[in-house]
Amino acid sequence: MWFIFAVAAASCFGLRGILYHWTSQRPIDRNLLLLGVYLSGTLITVAGNIFIGQSWTTEALFGVLMGTFSFVANASMYKGYAVGKASIVALFTGLPPLVVMIVAYFLWGEGLTGWQFIAFFIVLAGLLLVKYSQDLKLDQLKGIQWGILTMLFFGFTDVSVKQATLSGASTLPVLTVMFTTGSILFGISWAIARKNAAKSLDKEKSLERWSVKKTIVWGMFVGITNAVGMILIFPAFRDGITGIVSAIVAMNVAFVILYARFYLKENWTKREITGLSMAFVGILILRIAS
């Protein structure tokens, strides 16, 4: 059953990635959008718990850690989509299992098999080919930097989710704390950015953006995919093996890569195709061998 939850979560996060990229190409305030995403998650989990009635315990405070890591990961992913190639940034969103397995080894003694080590080096080789592709420009290198941050902090988010399940935290209360924490952080970021824009030449540019209401409403719509994905991932981590659950969920990268290739018509060099293929094969090996 946990496998079904993991696959469903991957589908939700894949749709989230596509919506993030589409939105990043519009004149929209990133922090305000993501504030809407996390407000949506807060409302969904609070409403859900009103009917289900899961108990609130001190373990729900793991949501603060989850919300902080998720804040950095989502902000980095959105920024990466805005400045780099969607397919390359999406690739890094598929690599948190590498972070998860390394951290899980030290925290919970979950060892790596020979195939997992092989997959690790295949993925690294693929990333090197992508990184040193002659076709990459400075803005795409910046996208890779944001992609690395996305990889690390989505990995840390998965680890904190697993730790929350091990502590016995109830799903909806801990997710409510997580989304509330993210809402506060993005709200502060938006307020600071707005204040700085009012003092600079960016004020005229900010007037061209979507209205506050329109941005919040759209962010709350996008937030449905994020909230449902997080709700689904919790039982998957609770009942499944940390590494394989993270690897399955990371397959959401396939949705964005296919979207980038067939809808955005992104052109790939032979070296990029080879690198992306190697990294994708490495993720598949992680899924099978974990």
Distances (CA, A) of 231 to 70, 169, 179, 211, 244: 14, 13, 12, 30, 18
Whole-number pLDDT of residue 135:
47
pTM over 0.85: no
- Residue in the structure block whose two tokens are 């005229």: 204
Average pLDDT, 10 consecutive residues per value, the chain (290 residues): 87 89 86 94 96 94 95 85 69 76 82 73 68 49 76 92 92 96 95 79 62 94 95 90 76 73 72 76 71
Query: Residue 235 has what pLDDT?
Result: 92
The pLDDT, as a whole number, for residue 109 is 80
Report the distance separating Cα 174 and Cα 8, nearest Å. Answer: 20
Which SS3 state, helix, strand or coil, does residue 205 take?
helix
Q: Give the DSSP letter of residue 56.
A: P
Measured distance CA(2)–CA(162) in Å, rounded: 13
Neighbouring residues of 171: CB distance < 8 A, sequence distance ≥ 6: 54, 231, 234, 235
Residue 207, pLDDT score? 55
